[in-house]
Chain A
Amino acid sequence: MQHVSPVREPLVTGGKTYHDVTQDVSRQVEAAPNIRWMAALAVALFFLGIFFYSVYRTLWYGIGEWGLNKTVGWAWDITNFVWWVGIGHAGTLISAVLLLFRQKWRTSINRAAEAMTIFAVICAAMFPVLHMGRPWLAFYVFPLQNTLGSLWANFNSPLLWDVFAISTYFTVSLVFWYTGLVPDFATIRDRAKGPIAKVAYSLLSMGWKGSAKHWSRYETVSLILAGVSTPLVLSVHTIVSMDFATSVVPGWHTTIFPPYFVAGAIFSGFAMVLTLMLITRVVFKLEDYITLEHIALMNKIMMITGSIVGVAYITEFFIAWYSQVEFEQYAFINRATGPYWWAYWSMMTCNVITPQLVWIRRIRYSIPATFILSIIVNIGMWFERFVIIVTSLHRDYLPSSWAMFSPSWIDIGIYVGTLGLFFTLFLLFAKFFPVINMAEVKSVLKYTVDNGPTYTGHDPHHAVHQPATHGVPASAPVNHDKHD
């Protein structure tokens, strides 16, 4: 139960009814794919093809197909990994943390954000496997019983923590996402006309009936999963940051990394959510659900996390100076003025300076500006990881081993390939899954629409449904769309 102030701006505009919600969201799923979607999918599949080709080259010939060398043992692989994991942060944050904080505005974006999380983590997970010299032995990292004696995974290694962190995060995110999807699948199932759709969505909806018991369990599971995933939002990137923080490499060996990485992850995650939502919103005509207010709120979060990251960048320099450790100092001087200065300054510009533009209200509420900003932040955050990884490694302790890194075509291919993978998955999701959580949006409809939901009754089969008391989440409307 909660009270919503009547002065609050409505979260869904356009005077939508429950039925409109169902109609608007299900339309994408039920209608034939439009040409724009097909074109987008074709592009995504092309990049997916590049991904498969690059992976084939990597697996067949070896990691030597990449641009790495004896000094720089990680570059684009781990950069991409951290970048994708970071992007995967917003989904959980939106669905879990905002759920716990009862931020109702999240309802219209959480589905897509969670989907994005899942797909981003899938993309991210490609890299720890692909970057291995012998990925077919990747199962060695699991603490499996074996017949080879006392072989066991090394629990000291942050890479092992990564394995647990990422797999836990992925599992929980997936379950959370799927749980949220079940009622919506049921809606689509009930509306489905084609035989395949009927079977498919009834399988996906797992026999959801919309009964009070189901809703009660649904709410409980959501809350529990939110509780479980909230620490994960912090832990995953904390552990990813420990890949670097626990090492001895100057520029990596930093205690500030965990909070800095988490902030950075949320930062980049929100940027990616914005990029995707702005496109989805236009393509699927969901302007009433993803409003300017949403965009402004997300911009604010982006600006805050961006500032945290900026402070972290500056703190690193301060600590390098304060520590009086020669190697540390050189690592940071080299970062800003060495051969990779352009990467560093790209990062600073994209991540620290540009998000500050959000202070300006017009930019905060401008769709084109936000879109450009979100892309810039994504670029900036990619550079952040590149800067941390490559500029630290390429000139570490012994000057004799200093080297430069330049990517090979396969490096680039795998990176754009994962973008292809991501967008392929996302486009399939957007076409076949309800991109907005209908059930939850309906729950915020009545106190966000100026006069509460109305029933125009343009659906002849639609029975008049008395709205629940003001402020009570509407949990019932799902099945009212269809009564045979």
Chain B
Amino acid sequence: MQESPKYWKGVEELENSPEFVKNALTEFADFLPMKETYGSSDATVAPRRDFLKLMGFGIAAATLASCETPVKKAIPYLNKPEEVDPGIANFYASTYFTGQDYNSVLVKTREGRPIKLEGNPESPITRGGLSARAQAAVLSLYDGARLQHFSIKGQKADKDRVDQEIRSKLAGAGRIAIVSPTIISPSTKKVIAEFTSRYPGTEHVMYDVNSASSLLRANNGVLPAYDFSKADVIVSLAADFLGTWISPVEFAAQYIKNRKVSSEKRTMSRHFQFETALSLTGSNADVRVPLKPSELGGAALALYNAVVGGGAGASYKNEQLTKAANELKAAGSRGLVVSGSNDPAVQTLVAAINTALGSAAVDVAAPSYVRQGDDARMDRLVNDIIAGRVGAVIFYHANPVFNHPKGAQLAAALPKVGLTISLNDRRDETGSLCQYAVPDHHWLESWNDFEPKRGFLSLSQPAISPLFATRQAQDSLLTWAGNPQSYYNYLRGQWQGVLGGDFQKAWDKAVHDGVATGTALPAPAAQITPAMSAAAAASAIAAAPKGSGTELYIYEKVGIGNGSEANNPWLQELPDPVSKATWGNYVAVPRAMAKEKGWEQNDVVKVSANGKSIELPVLIQPGQANGTVSIALGYGREMAGKVGDKVGANVLPFATVREGAVVYSANVTLEKTGATSPIAQTQTHHTIMDRKPVVQEATLKQYQKDPKEVTEYEKLVTPEGKVMPGKVSLWQDYEYKNHHWGMAIDLNSCIGCGSCVIGCQAENNVAVVGKQEVINRREMHWMRIDRYYSSDAHKSDFEEKGKLATYAAMEDPSENPSVIFQPMMCQHCNHAPCETVCPVLATTHSTEGLNQMTYNRCVGTRYCANNCPYKVRRFNWFSYYSNEKFENVNGHMFTDLGRMVLNPDVTVRARGVMEKCSMCVQRIQLGKLEAKKQKRRPQDGEIVSACAQSCPTQAIVFGDMRDPETRISKLLRREDGERAFHVLDAINVQPNITYLTKIRNTEEVRNA
């Protein structure tokens, strides 16, 4: 072996002192035991393998270091808050009421942030149901458009300075007005009273955007509480009580109680609806008669004449109205008439009819409080502000510049008012004109109490500490009134008088339950002008001028409501239950008018009246009364935020104030502009095409005769005779050893409100895609409600008219169609067509009957979606959480603030993967784990999917079909061969979702 020449690194090495030897050894760390491993005698020679190892490590380390790793700020709790366990949800009872509908809710929080609202089953009013708007409210908490600090004239200001200035200005303001929507909080009212006593010139004016002022007036200032479950015959004169009128969640539950049928209970209520636009309620009615807004008075009078008798001659005649009157008379106290009209005369007649009937469904002794707005007072106040007679105005959640008929004049007058304060949560149309912005907390950050109905109390409690530098409005008012108490203590103080007994215990229980009994609001005094007499009303109606030209009817939509939550993208994208339109309002036009004027769907028309005009696209709406058009209010916001601004047009300026009541109709002229603007509908084909295997309905008579006759079952011919398709199979069936989850959906109970759609969206982090993508037919909702209109053409016409002509005619809905709703989501087929076609096994069957999606495995061939007969699969066409195109509409997936609403148990799906209903597998898993911890099986009802949870009418029953004692098993056994059917049974995919045939209380079924 050749000796290599030797070099020294320095004198030290040559001398080789012990100290040097020690340092030389420690210069390289000991972790590379090259010598020991390879036994090399020469320590300076690194073996090749080590070289490669080090090089590999070096490259890998350098590569990794050069990758940008996201900084994750996971900060552990220094002191872990009581109750908060990472990964475990806490529920707090609270209350949703924003001046529209009241809902008692449970707030689901994860790691201290609210992520979902669920119905509170403890509530005797909403009974665990929740409206779509209430479901969506959790997203508004994280709305980036909320005001984040106090401000003076738009400039950020110090809290103390704001308070000081306001107090000094209030002192010299003279006449002060507090403008708010209906307030049902007894303590808030006390606070306002206290404020009023400090500033005696104060007047508190409440107004409702969709006003019930005349209803209050007709009932001596009392809003009757209705119980639809006590009515066998319901006649509604344009009251959308299942969708938007007063308390829809409560009413829907009551209404359905009397509509559910089974072979034991073969009766149901009968429901007549007289209305202009096809409302959610109208689409559920047994008999629906379209009429013009100007005819409503006549209809009320005719009904009054027929039931009570003695009115002036009614101009309105209708066969169905006569029938309704006769049935009402026959039903007596089991009859009920309601009206959504804001005409005092109509409401007076309705009240008179109910009194004459002795209707058990109307309760004026324990009235409802959710509408207290007084149009006349509000109108007076607005006039006073315009005339400069008001020194200071405080807007408390009120936005009259946008939503009052005189908003434009108000906007011009506001800057001249000495002191204007906005307590609104955002710089909205009114708030932006105010000098001071003192933003209120979101209700999920606040303490408050509510009395929606006399004797029923409810509480809201903060589920998160305030996100922004806001202050609860009541605290602001108390501060200005000079009361140093916090509102929480104030509230407790108030409740001490209500709950009594062991207060702390009762209070804790009330906070825990979210609801309590007792009353705190004074019975509304009859300070409002007493109602006119029925006779006067009758003559007023008889004398009223007839409508002329095209009549505009202004209505409210189930999702957007009065527009105060217009910046909520979930609500904007919630399809209207009837028209299935999203993102904006439109002119709903009857087909006859469209034909006559030569308008097509999506043509933009100019609607003008009283010198005002708006431009909106046309939607051809079956069921719209002839000679009328309808436009929804709540749209056309200018300063709601990125989502809600410039969506649709504001129709409220067309409303007028007449005789102290807002009139939600007008005579308008319409003119085609030549432009088109596509309406984003999630469903563009409207009829069922006589496809019995898809959705089934029958009449009550048929059902009463023989429940076994109401459902048509497709059977297969086999050598053993005709059998149900499920009995024939080439496949090996799955064996379910533990659970077999399933759902039963009662089409008789589903009113189509869309609450489940939002519930599902919130639970499962379903992306919002915006108007253009809805137009492209790419909405992501896992749960949808299919709506079918009946057609005048039927398969029975094949022979007479020929197949081609009949099929073409079947595509057109009837002039006044009957409507059926069908909730549709993944059917979790036991022989799923999607599972066989996926090349990578990204969608598979679970041992519990679920059809599961493995997002990580999905490569996105979309074959599964093509092969899904129910078309429930949704593809991530884009990266909805990072593609800037979606930043405005799906903003909550882009910002840290918004992302707080996401459910951490559900993946946010990546671009290019397929997704669909998972039957809330995360909830199933949670329920199973809870049960397992307690060493038991999950109980029935313990695990509920999000859709079933939120359903106000309990149309959806979820459970374990393997356990014979569960609700679903019993229901399916009971309905087997009667109403239970699978959609598209004959293709034999064997769904785990069963539907129950809809039964109508009519003479005939028009959909078949």
Q: Which of A327-345 contact B (CB under 8 A)?
A: 327, 330, 333-334, 337
B862 lies within 8 A of A157 (CB): no
- Chain A residues with a Cβ under 8 A of chain B: 61-64, 67-71, 73-74, 128, 131-135, 137-138, 140-141, 151-154, 156-160, 163, 243, 246-249, 326-327, 330, 333-334, 337, 393, 395-404
Beyond contacts A151-B840, A333-B803: 19 other A-B pairs, Cβ-Cβ < 8 A, are A61-B878, A63-B860, A64-B776, A68-B877, A141-B840, A153-B839, A156-B836, A247-B866, A247-B867, A326-B693, A337-B804, A337-B807, A397-B987, A398-B786, A399-B685, A400-B685, A401-B871, A402-B684, A403-B777
Do the beta carbons of A64 and B860 come within 8 Å of each other? no
* List of B residues within 8 angstroms of A333 by Cβ: 803-804, 807
Residue of A133, A141, A404 ringed by the most chain B CB atoms within 10 A: A133
Interface centre among A73, A128, A397 (most CB of B within 10 A): A73
* B228 → chain A closest CB, angstroms: 28
**B913 near A133: Cβ-Cβ < 8 Å:** yes
Query: Inside 8 A of A160's CB, which chain B residues have their CB?
Result: 839
Q: Which of B850-884 contact A (CB under 8 A)?
A: 857-863, 865-867, 869-871, 873-879, 883
Contact indicator A71/B777 (Cβ below 8 Å)? yes
Q: Which of A70, A132, A396 contacts B874 (CB 8 A)?
A: A70
A159 touches B860 (CB 8 A): no
Q: Which residues of A contact B312 (CB under 8 A)?
A: none
7 cross-chain pairs, A with B, having the tightest CB-CB distances, nearest first: A133-B860, A133-B912, A64-B877, A73-B862, A400-B786, A69-B777, A401-B871
Q: B838: which of A64, A133, A154, A398 is its contact (CB, 8 Å)?
A: A154
Instruction: Encode B696-718 as 1/0 by CB contact (under 8 A) with A.
Output: 00000000000000000000000
Chain A residues with CB under 8 Å of B687's CB are: 399
Work out how many contacts link A and B, with CB atoms closer than 8 A: 178
A69, B778: Cβ atoms under 8 Å? yes
Question: In whole Å, how far is A351's beta carbon from the nearest beta carbon of chain B?
Answer: 23
* Contact pick for A399, options B689, B857, B876, B911, CB 8 Å: B689
- Asked if A132 contacts B883 (CB within 8 A), the reply is no
Is B833 at the interface (CB under 8 A from chain A)? yes
What's the nearest-Cβ distance from chain B to residue A49, in Å? 24
**Interface: B683 (CB within 8 A):** yes
Q: How long is the Cα–Cα vector from A363 to B878 in the complex, in angstroms?
A: 50
Cβ–Cβ < 8 Å partners of A67 in chain B: 776
Which residues of the other chain, B, contact A401 by a CB distance below 8 angstroms? 683, 870-871
Known A62-B878, A132-B861: A151·B867 in contact at CB below 8 Å: no
Contacts of B784 in A (CB 8 A): 400
Report whether B876 and A62 are in contact in the complex, using a CB–CB cutoff of 8 Å. yes
The docked-state distance in angstroms from the alpha carbon of A132 to that of B861 is: 5
B921 located at the interface, meaning its Cβ lies under 8 Å from any Cβ of chain A in the complex: no
Contact B859 A399 (CB under 8 A): no
21 A–B pairs (Cβ distance < 8 Å), ordered by A: A68-B877, A69-B778, A70-B777, A70-B875, A71-B777, A73-B865, A74-B866, A135-B859, A151-B841, A153-B841, A154-B840, A154-B841, A157-B839, A247-B866, A249-B869, A327-B691, A337-B808, A397-B694, A398-B870, A400-B786, A400-B788
Would you call B427 an interface residue if the criterion is a C-beta within 8 Å of the partner chain's C-beta atoms? no
Q: Is B910 an interface residue (CB 8 A)?
A: yes
Complex: chain B residue closest to A73, CB-CB = B862
Q: Does B162 contact A (CB under 8 A)?
A: no
Smallest distance from the beta carbon of B955 to chain A beta carbons, Å?
17
Q: Which residue of A lies closest to B781 (CB)?
A: A70
A63–B694 CB distance below 8 A: no
CB-contact partner of A133 in B686, B803, B837, B911, under 8 A: B911
Within the complex, which residue of A63, A156, A334 is in contact with B875, where a contact is CB–CB below 8 Å? A63
Bound CA–CA A132/B838 (angstroms): 12
Please name the residue on chain B nearest to A329 by beta carbon. Answer: B803
Query: A152 contacts B839, CB within 8 Å?
Result: no
Least CB distance from A242 to B in Å reads: 10
In the complex formed, the residue of B with least CB distance to A131 is B861
Q: Are A73 and B866 in contact (CB under 8 A)?
A: yes
CA distance A86 to B833 in the complex (A): 27
Is B647 located at the chain interface by the 8 A CB criterion?
A: no
CB distance from B993 to the nearest CB of A (A): 13
Query: CB of B779 within 8 A of chain A?
Result: yes
Which residues, 783 to 831 on B, are CB-close (under 8 Å) to A?
A: 784, 786-788, 803-804, 807-808, 822, 824
Partner of A397, one of B685, B808, B870, B883: B870
- Report the minimum CB–CB distance from B684 to chain A (whole Å): 7
Shortest CB distance B714–A (Å) = 10
How many Å lie between the Cα of A401 and that of B899 in the bound state? 31
- What is the bound-complex CA distance between A377 and B521, given in angstroms? 81
Which residues from chain B contact A137 at a C-beta distance below 8 Å? 859
Neighbouring A residues of B863 by C-beta, 8 Å: 73-74, 157, 159, 243
| A153 CA / B841 CA spacing, docked (Å) | 6
How distant is the Cα of A153 from the Cα of B803 in the complex, in angstroms?
45
- The 8 A CB mask of B895-914 against A (1 = contact, 0 = none) is 00000000000000011111
Distance in Å from the Cβ of B334 to the closest Cβ of chain A?
36
CB <8 Å contact, B869 and A396: yes
Query: Is the beta-carbon distance between A62 and B786 smaller than 8 angstroms?
Result: no
Measured CB to CB, the nearest residue on chain A to B786 is A400
Q: Which residues of A contact B860 (CB under 8 A)?
A: 63, 132-134
Are A248 and B685 also in contact (CB < 8 A) when A157-B837, A399-B788 are? no
Q: Chain B residues with Cβ under 8 A from A396's Cβ?
A: 869, 871
- The distance from the CB of A4 to the nearest CB of chain B, in whole angstroms, is 49
Q: How far is the CA of A354 from the CA of B988 in the complex (A)?
A: 41
Instruction: Given A137-B859, A140-B857, check contact A69 B776 (CB 8 Å).
Output: yes
Cβ contacts under 8 Å, B836 to chain A: 154, 156-157, 246
- Within the complex, the shortest CB–CB distance from B812 to chain A, in Å, comes to 13
